[in-house]
């Protein structure tokens, strides 16, 4: 197992190229199941979650070739529409194969994902949607067994917003008979990226990016080529890192419109941000002001920024409140940040953070992906040496994280843990 070792206290400075988006690439790769023809994808990030999904798809018969970030996926024939527990338990996004499998083959057997470190994360909204489209669903031995001779268009109103639920339903509806209308749909940019690929494959979709998406089913989808959007969560993580360490940087390759809520908040805490032709320029605040956030679905403040923002607020000049509204248990980083000298109390869904003059390096443990990122940022800003364990959580969603920070001037390296 690896650990990341950081000698903190160096300003981040320079330019960082933002990688392809994990949360756009995953549903888009799953969409390859919808057609017998090939899907060629560029800007696919080199991440553990991407490898996990490609193993899952290969197990079903999808032929996959990867050459320097450009992937060719072809599901000529789906031999086994089955997503086994061993792969699904390591990555909840595996549930994204359910819609495409059901639409293409009329059956699917997908392990229930179960809980994870950030909360219970049920899939009831996905399953209710498929039932409304005429699927017969049974839960047996920890698996979802789904069958549908042919899915039918339906009006599906999500009780609450779900990102992968919207994506799953949108993919399934592309091959259904008739029209599907998704109400209270997720508006995340990754949903729009998926809709764009599906449209290139011949799907008829309108309204992606709004809360009502209409999909008119077509008999077949065909080949397409597509470039995955850049990762807004990775970009935001770097922007917050600069605010914590001092310095200035330009994040290249991402449209700033996807970071509206975060950029507004970073300006509120004193950062100077400029949207330039080459990317997003940020200069760290001289004093980090305190400001509250509440996580919300897009275009609100993303839950995927909550942990990193909390790390930033540990160094603010006052008291700030961070309220997590999406995942009930996404607070595992609090205890780890406290090991580095942070002053945080949790009351229900709200963390109360009293800023401290500085953090102190310590051995800590990543408990999930974004919690891990928050510890890297804390380590970069802290006095002294930090060791971050369970780096595999971070590798699920950040491409070459230590190399990118090293290029910006950080003293950060990855080493093997000897037990
Ligand atoms: N929920 C239900 N029932 C459902 C579906 C969701 O109760 O059937 C609940 C969830 O438990 C959660 C809330 O609804 O409390 C929202 O969950 P959502 O379905 O939107 O989350 P997700 O689709 O499982 C995606 C991202 C997450 C990101 C969330 C919220 C992917 C692959 N994952 O998850 O990304 O935090 O949306 O924006 O797109 C990450 O990258 O670190 C990550 C966790």
Atom 11 in ligand 1: residue holding the nearest Cα: 121
Based on the domain organization, do 111 and 202 belong to the same domain? yes
Residue that finishes a domain, picked among 227, 257, 275? 227
Rounded average pLDDT over 268-272: 98
Tens of pLDDT, residue by residue over 48-79, are 999 999 999 999 999 999 988 899 999 999 99
Based on the domain organization, do 236 and 382 belong to the same domain? yes
Based on the domain organization, do 113 and 240 belong to the same domain? no
Pocket of ligand 1 contains residue 234 by CB under 6 Å? no
Based on the domain organization, do 168 and 292 belong to the same domain? no
| CA 24 to ligand 1 center in whole angstroms | 13
Q: For residue 120, which atom of ligand 1 is closest to its CA?
A: 11
Atom 16 in ligand 1: residue holding the nearest Cα: 162
Strands 2-7 and 12-17: unpaired
Residue 419 binned pLDDT confidence (cut-offs 50, 70, 90): low
| CA 411 to ligand 1 center in whole angstroms | 34
Q: For residue 369, which atom of ligand 1 is closest to its CA?
A: 42
* Residue 116 known to be catalytic: yes
Pocket of ligand 1 contains residue 3 by CB under 6 Å? no
Output the six-digit token pair for 124: 């009831």
Pocket of ligand 1 contains residue 124 by CB under 6 Å? yes
Based on the domain organization, do 6 and 38 belong to the same domain? no
pLDDT at 1: 85
Residue that finishes a domain, picked among 227, 260, 287? 227
Based on the domain organization, do 204 and 111 belong to the same domain? yes
Based on the domain organization, do 239 and 358 belong to the same domain? yes
Pocket of ligand 1 contains residue 50 by CB under 6 Å? no
Alpha-carbon distances of 375 from 82, 99, 178, 221, rounded to whole Å: 36, 35, 48, 43
**Structural domain harbouring 107:** 22-227
| CA 11 to ligand 1 center in whole angstroms | 34
| CA 368 to ligand 1 center in whole angstroms | 14
Query: What residues contact residue 412 under an 8 Å CB cut-off, 6+ apart?
Result: 4, 5, 6, 7, 376, 379, 380, 402, 405, 406
Q: For residue 188, which atom of ligand 1 is closest to its CA?
A: 38
Based on the domain organization, do 97 and 206 belong to the same domain? yes
Tens of pLDDT, residue by residue over 30-49, are 999 999 999 999 999 999 99
Terminus-to-terminus CA distance in the chain, angstroms? 9
pLDDT at 120 > cutoff 80 = no
Instruction: Give me the catalytic one of 40, 87, 112, 116.
Output: 116
Q: Calculate the average pLDDT of the chain.
A: 96
Q: What CATH number is given to the structural domain containing 390?
A: 3.65.10.10
Pocket of ligand 1 contains residue 305 by CB under 6 Å? no
Query: What residues contact residue 418 under an 8 Å CB cut-off, 6+ apart?
Result: none
| CA 409 to ligand 1 center in whole angstroms | 34
**C-beta separation of 349 from 328 below 8 A:** yes
Based on the domain organization, do 252 and 350 belong to the same domain? yes
Tens of pLDDT, residue by residue over 220-257, are 999 999 999 999 999 999 999 999 999 999 999 999 99
Atom 19 in ligand 1: residue holding the nearest Cα: 162
Q: For residue 121, which atom of ligand 1 is closest to its CA?
A: 11
Based on the domain organization, do 305 and 406 belong to the same domain? yes
pLDDT at 321: 98
Output the six-digit token pair for 209: 């990016």
pLDDT at 115: 65
Based on the domain organization, do 201 and 278 belong to the same domain? no
Rounded average pLDDT over 190-202: 98
Specify the 3-state DSSP secondary structure of 186. Answer: coil
DSSP letters along 247-263, please? Answer: EEEEEESS-GGGGHHHH
Q: How many domains does the chain have?
A: 2
Q: Which helix (H) or strand (E) holds 371?
A: helix 369-381
Pocket of ligand 1 contains residue 327 by CB under 6 Å? yes
pTM recorded for the entire structure: 0.97
Output the six-digit token pair for 68: 């320097």
Based on the domain organization, do 313 and 345 belong to the same domain? yes
Residue that finishes a domain, picked among 227, 242, 270? 227
| CA 378 to ligand 1 center in whole angstroms | 25
């Amino acid at each position: 197992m690896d650990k990341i070792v950081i000698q903190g206290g160096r300003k981040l400075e320079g330019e960082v190229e933002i990688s392809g988006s994990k949360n756009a690439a995953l549903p888009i790769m799953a969409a390859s199941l919808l057609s017998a023809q090939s899907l060629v994808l560029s800007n696919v990030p080199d991440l553990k979650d991407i490898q996990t999904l490609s193993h899952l798809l290969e197990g079903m018969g999808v032929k996959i070739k990867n050459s320097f970030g450009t992937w060719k996926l072809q599901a000529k024939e789906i031999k086994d529409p089955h997503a086994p527990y061993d792969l699904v338990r390591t990555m909840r996004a595996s549930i994204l194969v359910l819609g495409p499998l059901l639409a293409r083959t009329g059956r699917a057997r997908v392990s229930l994902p179960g809980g994870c470190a950030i909360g219970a994360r049920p899939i009831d909204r996905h399953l209710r949607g498929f039932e409304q489209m005429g699927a017969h669903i049974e839960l047996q031995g920890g698996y979802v067994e789904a069958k549908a001779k042919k899915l039918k268009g339906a009006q599906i109103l999500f009780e609450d917003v779900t990102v992968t639920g919207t994506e799953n339903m949108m993919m399934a509806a592309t091959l259904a008979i008739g029209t599907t209308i998704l109400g209270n749909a997720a508006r995340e940019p990754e949903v729009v990226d998926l809709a764009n690929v599906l449209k290139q494959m011949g799907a008829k979709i309108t309204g992606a990016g709004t809360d009502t998406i209409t999909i008119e089913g077509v008999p077949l989808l065909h080949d397409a080529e597509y470039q995955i959007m850049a990762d807004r969560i990775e970009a935001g993580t770097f922007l917050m890192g600069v605010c914590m360490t001092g310095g200035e940087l330009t994040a290249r390759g991402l449209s700033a419109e996807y970071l509206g809520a975060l950029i507004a908040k970073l300006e509120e805490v004193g950062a100077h941000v400029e949207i330039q032709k080459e990317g997003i320029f940020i200069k760290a605040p001289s004093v980090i002001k305190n400001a509250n956030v509440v996580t919300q679905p897009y275009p609100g403040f993303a839950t995927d920024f909550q942990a990193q923002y909390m790390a930033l607020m540990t160094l603010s000049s006052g008291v700030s409140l961070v309220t997590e509204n999406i995942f009930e248990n996404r607070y595992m980083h609090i205890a780890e940040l406290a090991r580095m000298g942070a002053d945080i109390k949790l009351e229900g869904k709200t963390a109360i953070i009293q800023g401290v003059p500085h953090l102190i390096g310590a051995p800590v443990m990543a408990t999930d992906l974004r919690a891990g990122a928050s510890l890297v940022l804390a380590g970069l800003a802290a006095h002294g040496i930090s060791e971050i364990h369970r780096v595999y959580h971070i590798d699920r969603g950040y491409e070459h994280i230590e190399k990118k920070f090293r290029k910006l001037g950080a003293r950060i390296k990855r080493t093997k843990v000897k037990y």
